A and B are shown apart, each in its own frame.
Chain A
Amino acid sequence: EAGVVQSPRYKIIEKKQPVAFWCNPISGHNTLYWYLQNLGQGPELLIRYENEEAVDDSQLPKDRFSAERLKGVDSTLKIQPAELGDSAVYLCASSKDTSRNTGELFFGEGSRLTVL
Chain B
Amino acid sequence: RKEVEQDPGPFNVPEGATVAFNCTYSNSASQSFFWYRQDCRKEPKLLMSVYSSGNEDGRFTAQLNRASQYISLLIRDSKLSDSATYLCVVLAGGSYIPTFGRGTSLIVHP
Residues of A within 8 A of B (CB): 33, 35, 40-45, 48, 56, 91, 99-102, 104-105, 107-110
Contacts and interface: CB of A to CB of B under 8 A. Distances in A.
B96 A101 contact: yes
Contacts of B87: 42-43
B46 A105 contact: yes
Chain B contact patch, size range: 20 to 34
Contacts of A41: 102-103
Given A42-B100, A56-B97, A101-B98, A108 B43 contact: yes
Contacts of A110: 43
Nearest to B36: A105
A35 B100 CA distance: 10
Contacts of A91: 43-44
B102 A109 contact: no
A44 B96 contact: no
B106 to A, nearest CB: 14
Contacts, number: 49
Interface of B: 4, 6, 8, 31-32, 34, 36, 42-46, 87, 89, 91, 95-103
B101 A42 contact: yes
B91 A42 contact: no
Contact of A100 (B36, B96, B102): B96
A94 B14 CA distance: 36
Contacts of B45: 107
Contacts of A105: 36, 44, 46, 89, 98
A43 B96 contact: no
A84 B101 CA distance: 24
A33 B44 CA distance: 13
